[in-house]
Amino acid sequence: MNIHEYQAKQLFQIYGIPAPEGKPAHSVEEAQQIASGLGGDGWVVKAQVHAGGRGKVGGVKLAKSLAEVAAFSQELLGKRLVTIQTDSAGLPINSLLVEKIYPIARELYLSILVDRGSERIVFIASAAGGMDIEAVAHETPEQIISVYVHPAAGLQAYQCRKVAYSLGLG
């Protein structure tokens, strides 16, 4: 199952996990309304596609005015985004995530996915992650940990601690 960033953040909200304030938009007008409703003096406009590397190819824009939110939304919606994780045709941008800009103290990487080869859920984490996780994987793979969850045993507390400590959160 693939979910967009905004859908993951909606799940975070349901379970009380803090996340930047933002909402999905499917039109230029909706993106402007969301930014206006969020308040502040800056917003991030993010293309919602099932691929990483969006920020490296113009799929994540920092807007300093509502006019820029509109311009970036117009630029992205309906286009195709080609990233390191897509083929040359790219993926269509049908929705955006509009969020308030927050200062970044540090970037972490955490992914939960199904490893079809091992037929298990795996947590992949790195304190060196964020936008450059592909470079980290290539240049310093030892900075990335993988924690496999046995289907019969389920996720164990020690595995959660291992992930938290690897991210500097323990």
Residue type, 3: I
Q: Using an 8 Å Cβ cutoff, are 136 and 144 in contact?
A: yes
Q: How many residues does the chain have?
A: 170
Q: Which domains does the chain have, with CATH numbers?
A: 5-100 (3.30.1490.20), 109-166 (3.30.470.20)
Q: What is the pLDDT of residues 6-45, one digit of tens each?
A: 999 999 999 999 999 999 999 999 999 999 999 999 999 9
Neighbouring CB atoms inside 10 A of 110's CB total 14
The SS3 of residue 82 is: coil
Q: Using an 8 Å Cβ cutoff, are 79 and 93 in contact?
A: yes
Residue type, 12: F
Whole-model pTM: value is 0.83
Q: What is the pLDDT of residues 78-137, one digit of tens each?
A: 999 999 899 999 999 999 999 999 988 888 999 999 999 999 999 999 999 777 787 888
Between helix 28-38 and helix 66-76 the angle, nearest 10°, is: 150
Average model confidence (pLDDT) across the chain: 95
Percentage of the chain surpassing pLDDT 90? 86
Q: What is the pLDDT of residues 37-89, one digit of tens each?
A: 999 999 999 999 999 889 999 999 999 999 999 999 999 999 999 998 999 99
Question: Could you give the CA distance from residue 143 to residue 125 in angstroms, rounded to a whole number?
Answer: 9
Question: Could you give the CA distance from residue 146 to residue 169 in angstroms, rounded to a whole number?
Answer: 16
Neighbouring CB atoms inside 10 A of 71's CB total 15
